[in-house]
Structure 1
């Protein structure tokens, strides 16, 4: 059973609550904070950042950010790249990560997207098993930061 979530636009009214969502300390080396994600979105407008808070009921439990329909170029992979996916430490293990990806995949398919790319740091404790379990497969590429690039075929995944 998939967790019930909603993707919610970040506004002045919920920004602080969304920024307060944090991963476990041992995961911080693998995923930037929500606050850092907002900074990256401002710094790299050419990456066409699209982000949403993830809510379960009235509580923010996670955050997701993608490059949305960009023209791939130097430093940018796409057209759709999963830039951030995080679930708050106290909310992990409840299916929220899978639910977030399910929601994103539905939105991307509605846009006509054929694939979703992402990357991970190849170290112990990385999110690789989660992504591989969802259906992402390595492209064979490694980016300039040493992150392994993964792809999800949106035309074949149920």
Structure 2
């Protein structure tokens, strides 16, 4: 087995500016919030149990991932217990498999933590992330949350 080309790295004072500088293509901005906005959401939503990491290839940040991590049941407005809140790959690094590799690592981590499913949601629309998530194995749950389609990945079969 080959070693992964990406790794998930904690965001620190030393790398925060470089990670916050990551941007999606302008046509994708309506589908995914910026890293800075994501970090603000994490800080203002502690009940969502935010867990986030920069996605690095070699020594360069190429993306960002954020989850709700093992949220206890019954918290209003929070989907969980494990919810992929954000996945962003910088526009200059898209199409190289970094998003899939980062998501593979996230799946391994949440499965190791005892999760049986990973949920996410996305804004429907042309150029959105829906096809990426479906190719990965996520299936629509039939739920809509704030206008976003909710998807589920069964971790017992992935």
Q: Mark yes or no: TM-score above 0.5.
A: yes
Deviations 1:72-115 (A, max 9, x none): 43210100000000000000000001001100011011101000
Tell me the equivalent position of 1:34.
Answer: 35
* Residue in structure 1 matching 2:131, options 92, 116, 129: 129
For structure 2, list consecutive stretches of 5 or more residues without a partner in the other structure: none
| Matched residue SS, 2:107 | helix
Which residue number corresponds to residue 67 of structure 1? Answer: 68
1:87–1:97 CA contact under 8 A, matched in 2: yes
SS of the counterpart of 1:129?
A: helix
Determine helix, strand or coil for the equivalent of 1:141: strand
Once the two structures are overlaid, the 10-residue window that deviates more, 69-78 or 51-60, is 69-78
Give distance in 2, aligned partners of 1:2 and 1:128: 28
1:85 equivalent in structure 2: 87
Deviation of residue 2 (structure 1)?
Answer: 8.9
Contact 1:18 1:60 in 2 (8 A): yes
TM-score for the superposition, normalised by structure 2:
0.96
The 10-residue stretch of structure 1 (108-117 or 68-77) with the greater mean CA deviation from structure 2 = 68-77
Q: Mean alpha-carbon deviation: is it higher for 24-33 or for 65-74? A: 65-74
Deviation at 1:3, TM superposition (A): 6.0
CA contact (8 A) 1:3 1:96 kept: no
1:120/1:148 contact within 8 Å kept: yes
Secondary structure (helix, strand or coil) at the match of 1:40 reads: helix
Instruction: Provide closer, same or farther for how the CA distance between residues 115 and 62 of structure 1 changes in structure 2, counting only shifts above 3 A.
Output: same
Give the equivalent residue in structure 2 for 1:19: 20
Matched length: 156
Unaligned runs of 5+ in 1: none
Using the TM superposition, give the Cα deviation of residue 71 of structure 1 relative to its aligned residue in structure 2, in angstroms.
1.7
Which of 110, 113, 122 is the equivalent residue of 1:111? 113
In the aligned structure 1, how far is the partner of 2:135 from the partner of 2:10?
28
**d(CA) in 2 for partners of 1:83 and 1:103?**
15
RMSD: 1.2
